[in-house]
Chains A and B, each alone.
Chain A
Amino acid sequence: MPRFEYLFRETTSGLRRNGLVAFAAISTTFIALFLFGLSLLISRQVSLMIEATTGNVEVAVYLSDPVNPSTVSSLTKTLTDLPVVANVDYESKDEACERFRTLFAEQPALVNNVDCDALPASLRVKMEDPEQYSQVAAVLKGQPGIDQIVDQSAFLDRLFAVTRVFRVGVLLVAFVMLVSASILIANTVRMGLFARRKEIGIMKLVGATNWRIRMPFLVEGLFESFIGAIAAILFLFAIKVAFIEPLNESVQFIPWIVNKDLIAIIPILLVAGAIVALLAGLVGMRRFLDV
């Protein structure tokens, strides 16, 4: 197949010719995709942590001892009658103890020193609309048998706020880097076109179609972004091995991202890189190839 030979030859010679700019394009793509991947992984980590620490419960109603079963059922009914509440689960002292033990299974000293009787029973309320916490508080105010109401949505909000700033920051930097990467790729394409304007002139003269002329340049850009994406993926794996795995050893009560989460973002990064490269390539050769 001369087509593939041709494409391969033209692409590699293009990369050789403007090696330095190609290197800049590759490394910028690498940084951009690395940051993009990082922000995706941070999101994933945050949702894992939320899942683990709150069990997806937004409001915990701690009951005072001793727990009266009729209080439990009447409070449950009061709560489930509220339209803003999705569902209510009763967690007995034993169940609370069980959860505590699993959560801190790695710290036997802590588990052994805490008397399970000290842990309160609670009603765990899942909200339809977590913003409406005040309604829950109002309904329960003055009711007997309640020790304390803890609105975890406030904690979640803070967690979200902190991680959002971080995530948005990383995403923003990633975006800026992606734009720079596309400009650099567009530049390699344009330099390639300029260096080969005589060849392109002849190609047009003998009747090569525009797509045949364009293809080697687009492939060159795609190749650059592909190398950048591969480097970014490898780097993310390295980060995970270097930082997450030691944490996984020492902080076991939080679930950390695993290889599966990383593998899930590989296609996203590859596609993002390809899109950037194609757009950059088309921008780079715009107006250059008018018949």
Chain B
Amino acid sequence: MISLQHVTKVYRNGTTALEDVTVDVEKGEFVFIVGQSGSGKSTFIRLLLKEEEASKGDIYVAGKNLAKLTTWKVPHLRRNIGTVFQDFKLLQDKTVFENVAFALEVIGKPKHVIDQRVPEILELVGLGDKLNNFPDELSGGEQQRVSIARACVNRPLVLLADEPTGNLDPSTSVEIMRLLDKVNRIGTTVVMATHDQAIVDAMRRRVIELDKGKVIRDQARGVYS
């Protein structure tokens, strides 16, 4: 599903964010990317979205070579990838329903699809009764659920989560992890960058550890360190 072959990323200012990274993620896997701040976790995520280009090496996502993907095809790549961030990235002037519907609307899905899928996915993430609330009326955990619903409403092949529990307290984080696990169980490949040790240790999933841009550990059913 995801494959990085000897990928190096050097930013224009000379910083080497990733160095000779080779990683393969199979369909349906759940993978943690761990490491300290600045170890290259976010760059890893950004490369998969083609927000950045690799300086060296090849990246394949859902069977496509990202280096050969033309600019106008990038949106179609992203429709296969859901993304969740630490800061939720919700639109404050839109309701829960509208925030999720927006993701379908802007890729041109017809109204009947939106009206069917949005309540369905919000039910799945446990917000079936908050459709008409605005983000600022929700707790942090609930807001993250909305953002997960938005990421999954178009049924992506891959879900990328960059520190999704970074702003949440431990018990809420556990709930979010349960939800991501649920998403993974319905067949979505999940890649999650985090430095939340408790969560990684509790989940016992594959762990890829980055340090200064290099993979120093790739362990099935691993722990944080």
Residues of A within 8 A of B108 (CB): 2-3, 212
Stretch of B12-20, B70-78, B202-210 with 4 or more beta carbons under 8 angstroms from chain A: B70-78
Residues of B within 8 A of A (CB): 49-51, 71-72, 74-81, 83, 89, 91, 102-103, 105-111, 114, 150, 154
Residues of A within 8 A of B154 (CB): 206-207
A199 proximal to B (CB < 8 A)? yes
User: Quick one: given A2-B110, A3-B108, A6-B105, are A202 and B75 in contact (CB under 8 Å)?
Assistant: no
On whether the beta carbons of A208 and B49 are closer than 8 Å, the reply is: no
Which of A204, A206, A208, A209 has the most chain B CB atoms closer than 10 A to its own CB?
A206
Interface string of A220-255 (1 = CB under 8 A from B): 000000000000000000000000000000000000
Residues of A within 8 A of B (CB): 2-3, 6, 198-199, 201-210, 212-213, 291
A57 to B212, CA, bound (A): 89
Residues of B within 8 A of A3 (CB): 108
Taking the closest CB of chain B, its distance from the CB of A67, in whole angstroms, is 80
A150 to B71, CA, bound (A): 70
Main secondary structure on chain A at its contact with chain B?
Answer: helix
On whether the beta carbons of A208 and B106 are closer than 8 Å, the reply is: yes
A203 to B106, CA, bound (A): 7
Taking the closest CB of chain A, its distance from the CB of B92, in whole angstroms, is 9
On whether the beta carbons of A206 and B79 are closer than 8 Å, the reply is: yes
Return the chain A residue nearest B71 by Cβ. A291
A-B contact pairs, 21 of them (CB 8 A): A2-B108, A3-B108, A6-B105, A198-B89, A199-B91, A204-B75, A205-B89, A206-B79, A206-B83, A206-B102, A206-B106, A207-B75, A207-B79, A207-B80, A207-B81, A209-B72, A209-B75, A209-B107, A212-B106, A212-B108, A291-B75
